[in-house]
Amino acid sequence: MADPCSDRESESEYVFPREVGLFADSYSEKSRFYFCGHVLSITQNFGSRLGVAARVWDAALSLCNYFESQNVDFRGKKVIELGAGTGIVGILAALQGGTPSAS
């Protein structure tokens, strides 16, 4: 009997090629973000192996802007970020005094 997982892996490699550096020339970007008195420098390396994990999403930036505009105070609060991307929301919450929540 064939392993169904190996079929899915070969299908995903067809759709998302695993060639190292495939998109490195076009999709590598260093960005600086300024929120709540902090400078966050993030290098985004877009490649076929990273999927959505290397991206700073617009929704995350909007939430960081909201934290800043509302002067959200995370001190003494547990914070869990259930997002995708670089984790910029969780990073900012931690810089603002939030404690990462253990799972």
- Please give the pLDDT value at position 34: 93
Residue 102 has pLDDT above 60, yes or no: no
Is residue 19 domain-resident? no
Is residue 65 domain-resident? yes
Residue 60 has pLDDT above 80, yes or no: yes
**pLDDT tens digits for range 1-45:** 555 555 555 555 556 556 655 555 555 678 899 999 999 888 877
Is residue 60 domain-resident? yes
In terms of C-beta density within 10 A (0-12 exposed, 13-18 middle, 19 or more buried), how is residue 86 classed?
buried
Is residue 11 domain-resident? no
Is residue 13 domain-resident? no
In terms of C-beta density within 10 A (0-12 exposed, 13-18 middle, 19 or more buried), how is residue 73 classed?
exposed
* Runs of H (alpha helix) within 16-87: 58-69
Spatial CA neighbour of 63 closest among 51, 54, 72: 72
- Please give the pLDDT value at position 58: 86
Q: Alpha-carbon distance 49 to 42, whole Å?
A: 18
Instruction: Name the residue with higher pLDDT: 16 or 95.
Output: 95
What CATH number has the domain bearing residue 91?
3.40.50.150
pTM metric for this prediction:
0.62
